[in-house]
Amino acid sequence: MRASYNKYTLRFKRPSGTSRGILTEKETWFVFLEEEGKKGIGECGILRGLSADDRDDYEDKLRWLCDNIELGEEVLYAQLKEFPSIQFGLEQAFLSLRSPSPFLLYPSNFTSGQEVISINGLVWMGDKSFMREQIREKLDSGFSCIKMKIGAIDFDTELELLQSIRKEFSVDEIEIRVDANGAFTSSNALEKLKILSELSLHSIEQPVKQGQWELMARLCEQTPLPIALDEELIGVFNEDVKQKLFQTIKPQYIILKPSLVGGHKGSESWIKLAEKYGAGWWITSALESNIGLNAIAQWTHTLGNPMPQGLGTGSLYTNNIESPLTVSKGSLRYGEDNLWDTSTLKN
């Protein structure tokens, strides 16, 4: 078996606001496997400034992986514990290599085009007019669930935007999720949660910065608005620590980004704990190209979770890999033509 890797820079169609600033491009890495004429591909979707494996030795670890590919998937996965995005790329590459088609990883009614995955429409951070424009676009496109990132502009303005949606659409018509990306503080978090709860929101992601378990536990206990943990899960590799996190914080939901928590295996370990402790969960992509999004979507469909998932990021880039994945009427679909074009991978 031979293995290689390649860096690829994804370019946003328009600058996108996140809690880590304005993004115009996004770095990602691909792992390629080849054995007896068959080929496999996986994406290592690192997010600089957020991923636990945002380290100076990241490329060194990719090189080590390729040099030691004969150790096999199980051994390599275990030794990549502190590099969850590379674990995910490795997982995908082996799945791809073993599959009849490099991109048909989990054949199902989703990949045959018979079923779709309900997704939320993502509203990026920005000024009031830009956010209002996005909200109207998502609603007009048929989304019944939108996720709005808050914390970039002042709280009163964000509240006004949310109120305007609620005045026009009831809770039965539109489900609203908000993502604070840790923007609230210990002194104002509970009060802001109470104010937001009056808008009949579904949930709020990560109201305060990660790593404050006792504060987050108090908020989850007292909140009138369900709290979902997101960044809180990043860098938690040990199963005992994962269990302690649940026992301490007792969240209402967790959100799983396979690139940030060790791929499908890492996500499934979190799902087992969520179900053990009575927490809900859903899956979200993390700005991967269509290669990584494809792997996440096909796997997500096998889980049978009817909630809207966070998988609508495939159309963000000017140079994404052409794929059968499309978004229509608030759902992610897999085209029956199974069309893939990886000729752009060498950039």
Q: Is 257 a catalytic residue?
A: yes
Q: Are 251 and 223 in contact (CB under 8 A)?
A: no
Residue 247 CA to residue 269 CA, distance in Å, equals 15
The residue annotated as part of the active site, out of 138, 209, 242, 257, is 257
Q: Is 192 a catalytic residue?
A: no
The residue annotated as part of the active site, out of 149, 192, 209, 242, is 149
Q: Are 243 and 273 in contact (CB under 8 A)?
A: yes
Residue appearing with tokens 């502190």: 82
Catalogue the active-site residues.
Answer: 149, 257
